């Protein structure tokens, strides 16, 4: 697959870039692999620190509040009983690790499937370079307007970290700047447009099949 290369002014440079069909055009994108990869990504982000107190952890008297029978209500023990307001919680959450293992081949397939869907939807834009001389949100918005992505949630993928670009986009809700090494299935699908630099495309073509 070939795409035109644009500059940050939104002008067609007249050059083309080739997207590897084994990455951006696989025959059978796997939705289940995408589901598993996204599920793992979100699970790994969970803190897992939720905790509620059980009966043995509640501070309170162990005196039996009422007689066993004849009270007209349910049996209950001390004030720590789960049936009372302020009592313990039964089967409440405990600190746990939500992360799980996923094979590398599945993650690779998921990433290729996500990129294939983006390519089919014509949601990939390739620019020759994405450089900003100094951190300015106004300048970033100007480039986004030139590329016609100012009203869409966009993922800008650079080959190497660029502090000026990252700082310029930091305050914008619809703009995310990452490098190729940070590209994953969740980030690809969580953005409407994918803006790749020419160097980033070359890196993806060389490394994503490794």
Domain ranges of the chain: 2-29+101-207, 56-92
Q: What is the average per-residue pLDDT within 64-78?
A: 86
Q: What is the average per-residue pLDDT within 35-44?
A: 96
pTM of the full structure: 0.83
Instruction: Name the one residue in this structure whose structure tokens are 């990452």.
Output: 178
- pLDDT, position 150: 87
Structure tokens at 201: 């495309």
Q: What is the average per-residue pLDDT within 116-131?
A: 92
The answer to whether residue 51 scores a pLDDT higher than 90 is yes
| Percentage of residues of the chain with pLDDT beyond 70 | 100
Question: According to the per-residue pLDDT averaged within each range, which of 34-38, 51-55, 133-137 is highest?
Answer: 34-38
Give 149-177 pLDDT, tens digit per residue.
988 999 999 999 999 999 999 999 999 99
User: Would you give the distance in Å from CA 204 to the centre of its chain?
Assistant: 19
CATH code linked to domain 2-29+101-207? 3.40.1370.10
The answer to whether residue 208 scores a pLDDT higher than 80 is yes
The answer to whether residue 46 scores a pLDDT higher than 90 is yes
Q: What is the average per-residue pLDDT within 180-195?
A: 94
Cα(199)–Cα(17) distance, integer angstroms: 10
- Confidence band, pLDDT 50/70/90 cuts, at residue 210: low
The answer to whether residue 115 scores a pLDDT higher than 80 is yes
- pLDDT, position 60: 87
Give 11-27 pLDDT, tens digit per residue.
988 999 999 999 999 99
- Confidence band, pLDDT 50/70/90 cuts, at residue 66: confident
The answer to whether residue 209 scores a pLDDT higher than 90 is no
Give 136-152 pLDDT, tens digit per residue.
999 999 999 999 998 89
């Amino acid at each position: 697959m070939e795409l035109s290369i644009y500059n940050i002014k939104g002008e067609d440079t007249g050059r083309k870039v080739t997207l590897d069909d084994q990455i951006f055009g696989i025959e059978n994108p796997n939705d289940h692999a995408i589901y598993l990869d996204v599920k793992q990504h979100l699970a790994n982000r969970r803190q897992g620190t939720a905790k509620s107190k059980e009966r043995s952890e509640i501070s309170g008297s162990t005196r039996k509040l009422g007689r066993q029978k004849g009270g007209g209500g349910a049996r209950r023990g001390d004030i720590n009983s789960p049936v009372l307001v302020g009592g313990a919680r039964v089967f409440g959450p405990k600190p746990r690790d939500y992360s799980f293992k996923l094979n590398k081949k599945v993650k690779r397939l998921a990433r290729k499937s996500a990129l294939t869907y983006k390519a089919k939807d014509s949601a990939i834009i390739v620019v020759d370079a994405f450089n900003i001389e100094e951190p300015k949100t106004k300048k970033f918005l100007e480039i986004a307007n030139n590329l016609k992505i100012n009203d869409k949630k966009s993922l800008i993928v650079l080959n190497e970290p660029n502090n000026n670009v990252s700082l310029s986009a930091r305050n914008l809700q619809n703009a995310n700047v990452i490098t190729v090494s940070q590209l994953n299935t969740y980030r690809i699908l969580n953005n409407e447009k994918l803006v790749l630099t020419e160097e980033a495309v070359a890196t993806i073509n060389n490394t994503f099949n490794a």
